[in-house]
Amino acid sequence: MTAALTVTNMSKSFSGPRVLDDVSLTVEPGEIRALVGENGSGKSTLIKILAGFHLPDEGSAEVGGEPLQLGHGEASEAAGLRFVHQDLGLVNTLDAVDNIALGVGYPSFRGRIHWRQERKRTRAALAELGYEFDVRRPAGSLAMSERTALAVARALAPRQTPTKVLILDEPTANLPAAEAERLFQLARRVADSGVAVMFVSHHFDEVFGLAQNVTVLRDGRHIITRPVAGLTEDQLIELVIGRQLEQVAHDAKAAERRDVVLQVTGLGCDVLNDVDITVHAGEIVGIAGITGSGRDEVATALFGGTDRAGQVMINGTAVPKLRPDQAMAMGMGLVPAERHANAAFMTSTLRENITVTRPGIHWRSGILRKGPERSDVAKWLDRLDVRPRNSEFTMSDLSGGNQQKVVLARWLRMKPKVLVLNEPTQGVDVGAKSDIHKLIDEAADEGTAVIIVSTDHEELVRLCHRVLILRRGKVADEMTGGRMDHDLITAATIGRDRTDAA
């Protein structure tokens, strides 16, 4: 049988050490292959080479036994490679019909586009994925799960060349569990039709639940390709990071009742309704809920990014609504879920990204003292183990996990009184996730009141002293200490009583 995809001796450097070093792999038709590795291991670089975005220094590739012309996106498309990238690649100002047409064009008759037929075709493609929404809405106004579905529908839209390989780069990063499973069912159907599926994921339960084989990259090198059967999660973690992961025991005891730092009463917005939250100094409080529960709106409402009802107080002083600048001045920091859109300045340096929240520290008589500023930033890059530790690298040069560390460093540098984290480890590898968890613990130990909004219930159990469950815009349940459990939180988010869930 001719392989669906063959990569041979692929290498790539970016004016420094190799980010991809002599990588070879083969994926068979109908196979579901997981590609795993830490952020910076070379996964994204390999995918961008296959997509024609990067030209490799060395190496070659074949699709269906035919040589792939590297460095040309049109050649990848013509060869039968289809991609859903982590940032989805949608144009937010265009609707679903136009976004799909960006991949396949508009069928026309005598130069005219039949818009009614195109909308019908788009609705059918989304329905195949289990989604139904107004296809005339701009993509930027859709929920993240709907945008992901739109990107997948575009990748699978019929073309002149049949699809030979579907490559999914972190396809579930913005999907709750039920919707992720819907995507996996589709991937299985695609594989059953003879198309090879290769997917990148940092969620190992997805690797074990979906893939037949797994390829591990580390430091740009191919470490192993082997069947998933017979592999344990601990073994896979060790292959990915090259060491045994330090196990941090969850402290099930309630947080020491220090002074109240954050007091939220009657918080409301489009979805939220009369939500009360109290967080003490050194306490970590989690927010859980399904999509549409109000979970996604909490962080932005607290920080002032959207209009809100109710009152938010830090150390007894009210934070004005719609004034993120005042929230910052009063000691609140926010790490939003959508890093590229709302947090990172991708074309700016790491130094500029870290110091942007307090740029005046190193100004003297109208002159920026770059030496002290670089020294300050170097300390934070070292503390957070950002790789590479070059303050003048641009943000876009870093992997997702290292970008997230830089955004976190921005706020930790300010010694915040309140730190609001929305999906703090979304799209990062297991090693970076462990590092970020330690930093959150350290911030709480230093007295910061922390709120974590997360769809990763294991993360909430690991970090939080309490978890608030949102349903239909209200706090419907609360779990504390040793009573917290992944399955119980999941059951509570969908409306089942905890005793029923047990």
Q: What is the pLDDT of residue 176?
A: 64
What pLDDT, on the 0 to 100 scale, is given for residue 483? 67
**CA distances, 398 to each of 42, 159, 221, 391, 439 (Å):** 11, 34, 17, 11, 19
pLDDT of residue 252: 43
Quickly state the pLDDT bin for 259 (edges 50, 70, 90). very high
Is pLDDT at 254 greater than 60 in this prediction? Answer: no
Residue 138 DSSP code: B
d(CA 455, CA 464): 13
pTM to 2 decimal places: 0.63
Give 301's contacts (C-beta < 8 A, 6+ positions apart). Answer: 267, 269, 272, 308
Highest mean pLDDT among 165-169, 172-176, 250-254, 480-484: 165-169
Comparing 62-71, 85-94, 219-228, the range with the smallest average pLDDT is 85-94
**Euclidean distance between CA atoms 441 and 138, whole angstroms:** 39
Whether the bond into 424 is cis, omega within 30 of 0: no
Mean pLDDT of 257-267: 92
Residue 362: pLDDT band with limits 50, 70, 90: confident
Mean per-residue pLDDT for 110-136? 88
Q: Is the pLDDT of residue 32 over 60?
A: yes
Beta bridge partners of 262: 279, 314
Per-residue pLDDT at 122: 93
The residue written with tokens 């005891």 in the block is 253
Local structure of residue 194 (DSSP, 8 states)? T
Q: Which region among 125-129, 274-278, 408-412, 427-431 has the lowest average model confidence (pLDDT)?
A: 427-431
Percent of the chain with pLDDT over 90: 58
Give residue 245's pLDDT.
Answer: 52
Q: Which residue segments constitute the domains of the chain, with CATH numbers given?
A: 5-241 (3.40.50.300), 246-331+416-502 (3.40.50.300), 344-415 (no CATH)
Poorest-pLDDT segment among 137-146, 321-330, 414-423: 137-146
For residue 440, what are its two tokens?
């959150």
Band of residue 173 on the pLDDT scale cut at 50, 70, 90:
low
* CB-CB contact of 98 with 137 (8 Å): no
Residue 123: pLDDT above 80?
Answer: yes
Cα 440 to its chain centre, rounded Å, is 18
Question: Nearest CA to 98 among 131, 156, 138?
Answer: 138
Joined tokens for residue 428 = 């990062």
Say which range, 20-24, 224-228, 307-311, 469-473, has the weakest mean pLDDT.
469-473
pLDDT value for 501: 38
Give 150 or 364, the one with higher predicted confidence.
150
Q: Which residue has the tokens 């917290």?
A: 484
Confidence check: pLDDT of 359 > 90: no
Mean pLDDT on 282-289: 94
Alpha-carbon gap, residue 240 to 66, rounded angstroms:
31
DSSP for 41-88, please give it: SSHHHHHHHHTTSS--SEEEEEETTEEP-TT-HHHHHHHTEEEE-TTT
- pLDDT attached to residue 482: 66
| Most confident among 166-175, 203-212, 287-296 (mean pLDDT) | 203-212
Instruction: For the chain, give the mean pLDDT.
Output: 88
CB atoms within 10 A of CB 317: 9
193 has pLDDT over 80: yes
Cα–Cα distances in angstroms (integers) from residue 9 to residues 74, 120, 220, 355, in the given order: 23, 45, 12, 40
Q: Is pLDDT of 205 > 60? A: yes
Query: What pLDDT is attached to residue 181?
Result: 82
Instruction: Of 159, 161, 201, give the one whose Cα is nearest residue 184.
Output: 201
Mean pLDDT of the 30-50 span? 90
Lowest mean pLDDT among 97-101, 107-111, 308-312, 320-324: 107-111
Could you give the angle at which helices 430-445 and 400-412 cross, rounded to 10 degrees?
A: 10
pLDDT score of 262 more than 50: yes
Span 78-99, pLDDT tens digits: 999 999 887 788 999 999 999 9
- The Cα-based distances of 237 to 142, 217, 459 in angstroms read 35, 12, 16
Q: Of the ranges 85-99, 141-155, 192-206, 233-247, which one carries the lowest mean pLDDT score?
A: 233-247
Statement: residue 248 has pLDDT above 50: no
User: Stretch 101-114: mean pLDDT, rounded?
Assistant: 79
Residue 247: which pLDDT band, with cuts at 50, 70 and 90?
very low
Q: What is the pLDDT of residue 174?
A: 63
**Residue 253 — very low, low, confident or very high, per pLDDT cuts 50/70/90?**
very low
Helix (H, G, I), strand (E, B) or coil at 240: helix
CA distance linking residue 27 with residue 196, whole number of Å: 7
